[in-house]
Amino acid sequence: MSGSKGTIAILTGGGDVPGLNPAIRAVTIRALREGYRVLGIRRGWRGLVDLVPDPDADNSACVVELTEPLVNRAGRTGGTFLHSSRTRASHLPRAFVPPHLKDEYTEEINDITPAVLRNLDFLGVDTLIPIGGDDTLSYGHRLHEEGVKVVAIPKTMDNDVAGTDYCIGFSTCVTRTIELTHGLRTSAGSHERILVIEVFGRYAGFTALLPTMAGAADRCVIPEAPVDPDHLTELLVKDRNRHPSRYSVVLVSEGARLTGQTDMSFKSEEADQFGHKKLGGIGDQVSEAIKELSPKYNDGKRVNIVSQRLGYLVRSGDPDALDSIVPMAFGNLALDLILQGRSGLLVAVRHGVYDSVPLGAVMEKKSVDVDLFYDRDRLRPLYNTFRDRPLFIMTSQV
């Protein structure tokens, strides 16, 4: 069945975050009421890769028609009921080429965008709404350049999609980081230890910076500013010895580096289709360095460490208030643009105001402006005034 105004397709790609289902719900309900048919593409770009453009084919694993009852059930929950993947259709390894395309695409790495375009045409999609981070949305930009009408919604816990102050998932990540860090204080204080917590943040340190500003930690280490472990240890030992319960806390972004390191810390050398290796280990490296250096600043006595990686704990479960409200606004913004006949855009928050920007913005990198917002000497957020700053203070691009 076709909607009187056409067909809108929604997909979610990359890592899951709380707030995706509310965004899908917002788009679907508004679109249906405006007279559109709405399709959910399953497993991100993989759904458009694996789909077989044949009316007799079973494509239920790739696409589902969205209805109000379906999205209402899911809209209050975390994650994405459409599922996700890190499929990159422009750089698809031969092992991931679906069987019906094996004869057409035989290289080790294949750009199967022509097949994706055929599938969009087969489904009758008039406008595509990808929800994701810069990797997912960069391929959305590619499709826009190929003539597809695309209106994108930014999502990532790291809040590092350029062009917007806010990405779905960021508030819940900050909220959970603060909550979990405060919870871990009891163990650190009981044993008079230094608490090292590894948090999300591959290229941008917002998820360490904002919780520290909110009082969750004494210091933070971010990807934009490599840290001298000797200097960090000196600060944390002083923080510990000043505290009535004799403990201190540092948040370390997963993409952070120690001085002298040329690359991030990885769990393995295996990379996804976007070239990203799985991060992990910098928290343990920082912990070991602090433990070894601590006698130097603690009258010759070693300080033991509590080391914890928060990981999926901050991205699982239900969205917080902001990640329930902002997705609703983003979904409606996307429909506003579609009704205006506009595409090639990213819905956004700019200096605290809902807006949209050209989709090409996602091709840039967004990170913490260290000179404005990070004190390299104190290893803490830097702020002089809050006047005229947006809600999250340090996340706008000046």
Residues belonging to the active site: 158
Q: How far apart (Å, rounded) are the C-alpha atoms in residues 150 and 136?
A: 12
Three-state secondary-structure class, residue 327? helix
CA nearest to 393, candidates 192, 176, 174, 92: 174
> Are the C-beta atoms of residues 316 and 157 closer than 8 Å to each other?
no
Q: How far apart (Å, rounded) are the C-alpha atoms in residues 235 and 224?
A: 19
Please name every residue paired with 353 in a beta bridge, in sequence order, or none if there are none: 350
Q: How far apart (Å, rounded) are the C-alpha atoms in residues 211 and 220?
A: 9
What tokens appear for 258 in the block? 């120690």
Question: Half-sphere exposure of residue 304, counting CA atoms within 13 Å on the CB side?
Answer: 7
Q: How far apart (Å, rounded) are the C-alpha atoms in residues 343 and 149?
A: 5
Question: Half-sphere exposure of residue 81, counting CA atoms within 13 Å on the CB side?
Answer: 19
Q: How long is the chain?
A: 398
**Terminus-to-terminus CA distance in the chain, angstroms?**
46
* Amino acid residing at 76: R
Pairing of strands 92-93, 36-41: unpaired
Three-state secondary-structure class, residue 164? coil
C-alpha to C-alpha distances, 195 to 63, 179, 203, 267, nearest whole angstrom: 45, 14, 23, 21
* Amino acid residing at 185: R
List CB contacts of 89: < 8 A, sequence separation 6 or more.
Answer: 45, 48, 49, 111, 112, 113, 115, 116, 139
> Hey, how many other C-beta atoms are within 10 angstroms of the C-beta on 234?
17
Type and span of the H or E element at 328: helix 322-339
